[in-house]
Chain A
Amino acid sequence: MNFIIQFVNSLTSGGGGYQLLNHIINGISLGSVYAIIALGYTMVYGIAKMLNFAHGDVIMVGAYVCFYAFNAMKLPEPLAMCAPLLAVCAAVVVCTLLGVGIEKLAYKPLRAAPSLAVLITAIGVSYFLQNAALLLWSSSPKVFPSFFVIRTTDADGESVVLRSVQLGAVSISYVTIVTIVSCVVIMLWLTWFTGRTKMGKAMRACSEDKAAAQLMGIDVNATISLTFAIGSGLAAIAGALLCSAYPNLVPTTGSMPGIKAFTAAVFGGIGSIPGAFLGGLLLGVLEIFAKAYISVQLSDAVVFAVLIVVLLVKPTGLLGRAIREKV
C-alpha cells in the first residue's frame, strides 16, 4: 500500500504537511465549483423529482451570456467595477428564462409520463443546447475574463494583477474564496427559502405529494416552474464562477463538471441542500487527493469507486433522507 505510506509520510514530515494543506485547499476550490452546480441539481430533483441533465448546459449558456455581456459593456471608470456583476445579472436573467422555457416546452407535457421518458428528454435538451451553442458561438474556445483579481501598483509603480492571497506557505486564489462564500450564501438562502417562505413550503408540499398539494390549493405547475427558474438562475451564477476558476469556454464546458456535480449531489444525498454542498466539497477534495497521492489517470476511477462504496453503505447518500414508500 504505497499510497498509504506516502500519505502518512506527508502528514508527518514538515514540508509534506504544507503540501497536504495545499491539496486540501485545491480540493476545496474544485469542490466548491462542484457544490454550486450540485445545488441546482439537487434543488430541481428535490422538488420536481426529475434529473435535469440539461443543468450542466444551462451553466454553459450562462457562462457564454456572461462572457458576451461583459465584453459588450463599456462602462466609464468608476462604474467599471460593476461590470462583472451586471454581466452575471444578465446571465441570471437569460438562464432563468431559458430554464422556464425548457420546462414549459420539454418537461411539462411529460408531467404524467414515466420518469424514464423525462430523463431521456432531459438528455435530449442537453444535446440540443450544446449544438445550438456550437452554431451560435462556434467551437473555437473563448477565454473567460478574470473577474476576481485585484489590480494595483507595486512599490516600483508598475501595475500588478493579484490573483491570490498568500497565507504563510499556501496561496488561495480569490476565485476560490468568492466561490465558497457564494456557495455558502446560496445554500443558506435555499434552506431558508424552502423551509420558511410560503413559496418554499408550497415547493416541499409538491415534492411530497403533487395531488394532495393541488387539493390544498397549491398551483403545482407554477411551483415547478419557479423551481426551474431558481435552479437555472443558480446555474448562471455557477457558470460564471466555474469559468472564472477554469477560464476555457467551449460548448461542452458544462457537461463534464455537470456530471461530476450530479455525482456530488448523489454522494451528499440527492434532494438535500446541505448534502449537495457537502458532497461537492468532498468530491473535489477526493479528486485532488486521488490525483496527488494515487494517480492522475486513476483519479476519476477512485472518486467513483468511493461513491459506489458510500451508496452501498448508505443508499440515500450522506445526508439523504430515507423515504419509506407507501404501498
Chain B
Amino acid sequence: MKKKLLCALLALSMLFVLAACNGAPAENPGNNDAQTSGDTNTPGGAQTPDDTQAPADNGESQSEPEPAAPDDQAGLSGETEPEPAAPVEGAFKLGGTGPLTGGAAIYGNAAKNGAQIAADEINAAGGAVKFELRYEDDAHDAEKAVNAYNALKDWGMQISLGSVTSKPAEATSAESFADGIFSLTPSASSPATIAGKDNVFQMCFSDPNQGTASAQYIGMQNLAKSVAVIWKSDDVYSKGIRDTFLEEADAQGLDIVSDTTFSDGNATDFSVQLNDAKNNGAELVFLPMYYEPASLILAQASAMGYAPKWFGVDGMDGILTMQGFDASLAEGVMLLTPFNADATDDATAKFVAEYQRRFGETPNQFAADGYDCVYAYKQALEAANATPDMGAAALNDLMKAQFTSMTFRGLTGDEMTWDASGAVSKLPKGMVIQNGAYVGMD
C-alpha cells in the first residue's frame, strides 16, 4: 500500500518535472538543455518548433515565430535535435554562445535576439550574403561554453559570434583561435578575450576602455570630487574596469575616498561597503559590476538613508527589466553605454520598434551589440566577396583583413574601427535613468 502510494507520488513528481520542462522552451526555445539534460530525450523536451506557449512571466520570453522568416525558429529549436530543420540555402553559418539561462540570461537573450533580428532582416532583403544563425546556451560558465562551442563546430560554424559574457568568452576565444575560426563577440569586454588572438574581435568597449571612459566622463562633467568604488574581486570584468578607473581617476583629479570589494560568497550584505563610502564622504559611488548585486546595493543604500550619485557600467544595463524591481531605487543612476534606445535616428528607431514588437521589451545595449555584429559581418563579407562555400580557414583570413581596415557605422557607434588587437574604437554615450527609463545625458 505504501509502496503504491510512493509510486503514485513519484509518477506525479515526474509529471511535474515534465510539465515544467515543457514550459521552459517558451522562454528559451530549445536552449534548456543545460539544466534539463536528463529530460530532453522525453517527449516533453522535444518541443516542436511551432509549439508557442503563452509568454512566461519574465521579459525574455520569445514571441511567436516570424511568418516572414520561417527558418529562424526552426534553426533555433533544432538545438536539442540532432539536425536543424530547414537550413537557409547558401547562407553563412554563424554561431555564438551566450547565457540563455542562468543569472546572466538577460544578456545572452538580448544579444541573441538582436542578432536574430539582424539576420532575419538581411535574409529577407535577399542580398548576396545570407546568414544562418545559431545560438547555444553556456549559462555564463566557461566549461559549458566550450561544450557549446564544440557543438557549433560540429554543426559546421564558419564564422563565430564568440560568447556574450567575459568568463565564457575567454575560454571560447582560445578555442576559436586554435581552430582558426574568426570570432566577433558582441559584448565580452575583458582584455583577455582578445589578448594574443589575432582573429578575435570585440563589438563592445574593452573593460579598460570602460574604466577610463567612466573616469573621464565623471571628471569632465564635474559630477563629483570624492568617489567611492565597490567592485567584485572574483570577477575579471569588475576588476578590469576598476583598475583602469582608478588610474584615470588620478589623472582627472578625482579623490578616491573608499575602495571596497565583495565576492560571490558574500554578495548579499553590503552594509560595510556602503558605510565606508558614506563615512568617507563619497559624493559618487562607482559600481563596476552586473546589475544583480547592483540592485541589492541600491536597495540597501536606500534602507540606510544614503543617497549619493551612482555611476554604473554596461553591466548595469538590465536593472530596469528585473521583475519586481522598484525603479525609484535606480532613479538618477548614470551609466556609460554605447547605445541609447531613445535615440531618434532612423536605424535605432526601426530596431527598437522591431525588437519591441517581437520580444515585448525595450532592447538594451547587448541587443544592439548583437545586431551590429551581424551587420558588421555582412559589410565585411560583401567587401571581401566571400561566398558561403568557403571554409572557415579562408573566411578567417578574409575577415582579419577586412575588420582591421573597414569603418563600420552601426547602432552602437557612428565610426567604429578595429585595431589589429581586436579592440574597437568608438565613442560612449552617457545615460541616466529617469522615471524608470534611460535618457541620454548629452
Contact = CB atoms under 8 A, between A and B. Distances in A.
Nearest to B35: A134
B295 A173 contact: no
Interface in A286-309: 287-288, 291-292, 296-297, 299-300
B23 interface: yes
Interface in B62-118: 101-103, 105-106
Contacts of B127: none
Most chain-B CB neighbours within 10 Å: which of A109, A141, A166, A287?
A: A141
Interface in A48-103: 67, 71
15 contacts: A26-B269, A26-B275, A134-B35, A138-B57, A141-B103, A141-B295, A141-B322, A142-B323, A143-B299, A164-B304, A171-B304, A256-B268, A292-B272, A296-B262, A297-B233
Interface stretch (A35-43, A243-251, A264-272): A243-251
A250 B325 CA distance: 13
Contacts of B299: 143, 146, 247
Contacts of B36: 135
Nearest to A27: B271
Interface of B: 6, 9-10, 16-17, 20-21, 23-24, 27, 35-36, 56-60, 101-103, 105-106, 233, 260-263, 265-266, 268-269, 271-273, 275-276, 279, 292, 295-296, 299-300, 302-305, 322-326, 328
A139 B58 CA distance: 10
Interface in A241-262: 246-250, 256-257
A171 B300 CA distance: 12
Given A143-B324, A163-B303, 4 more contacts: A105-B10, A141-B295, A141-B322, A250-B292
Contacts of B106: 140
B102 A300 contact: no
Interface residues on A, range: 35 or more
A145 B261 CA distance: 26
Contacts of B6: 105, 109
Interface string A156-193: 00000101101000010101000000000000000000
B275 A22 contact: yes
A19 interface: yes
A132 interface: yes
A182 B325 CA distance: 26
Most chain-A CB neighbours within 10 Å: which of B17, B21, B300, B303?
A: B303
Contact of A30 (B10, B260, B263, B269): B269
A15 B275 CA distance: 13
A246 B268 contact: yes
A15 B58 CA distance: 46
Counting from the closest, the 5 A-B pairs by CB-CB distance are A135-B20, A26-B271, A143-B324, A163-B303, A291-B272
A55 B23 CA distance: 27
B103 A250 contact: yes
B302 A139 contact: no
A277 B305 CA distance: 28
Given A26-B269, A246-B269, A296-B262, A135 B304 contact: no
B303 A26 contact: no
Contacts of A26: 269, 271-272, 275
B24 A146 contact: no
Nearest to A292: B272
Contacts of A163: 302-303, 305
Contact of B324 (A144, A257, A297): A144
A134 B57 CA distance: 13
A136 B20 contact: yes
A164 B305 contact: yes
Most chain-A CB neighbours within 10 Å: which of B56, B296, B304?
A: B304
A141 B269 CA distance: 17
Contact of A19 (B35, B279, B328): B279
A300 B263 CA distance: 11
Contacts of A105: 6, 9-10
Nearest to B274: A26
Contacts of A166: 305
Contacts of B322: 140-143
Given A139-B105, A292-B272, A146 B326 contact: yes
A131 interface: yes
B272 A296 contact: yes
Contact of B268 (A257, A296, A300): A257
A296 B35 contact: no
Contacts of B275: 19, 22-23, 26, 292
Most chain-A CB neighbours within 10 Å: which of B6, B296, B324?
A: B324
Contacts of B263: 296-297
A246 B322 CA distance: 15
Contact of A143 (B102, B271, B323): B323
A139 to B, nearest CB: 5
Contacts of B279: 15, 19
Nearest to B6: A105
B303 A143 contact: no
A132 B323 contact: no
A136 B296 CA distance: 23
A256 B269 CA distance: 12
A143 B27 contact: no
Contact of A139 (B102, B273, B276, B303): B102
Nearest to B233: A297
Given A138-B56, A171-B304, A247-B296, A297 B261 contact: yes
A297 B59 CA distance: 35
Contacts of A131: 35
A135 B295 contact: no
A297 B276 CA distance: 15
B324 A288 contact: no
A134 B305 CA distance: 34
Contact of B271 (A247, A256, A288): A288
A135 B21 contact: yes
Contacts of B262: 296
Contacts of A138: 24, 27, 56-58, 101, 105
A300 B305 CA distance: 27
A135 B103 contact: no
A227 to B, nearest CB: 20
A306 to B, nearest CB: 16
B7 to A, nearest CB: 11
Given A105-B6, A136-B20, A296-B260, A291 B304 contact: no
A171 B305 contact: yes
A291 B325 CA distance: 28
A143 B325 contact: yes
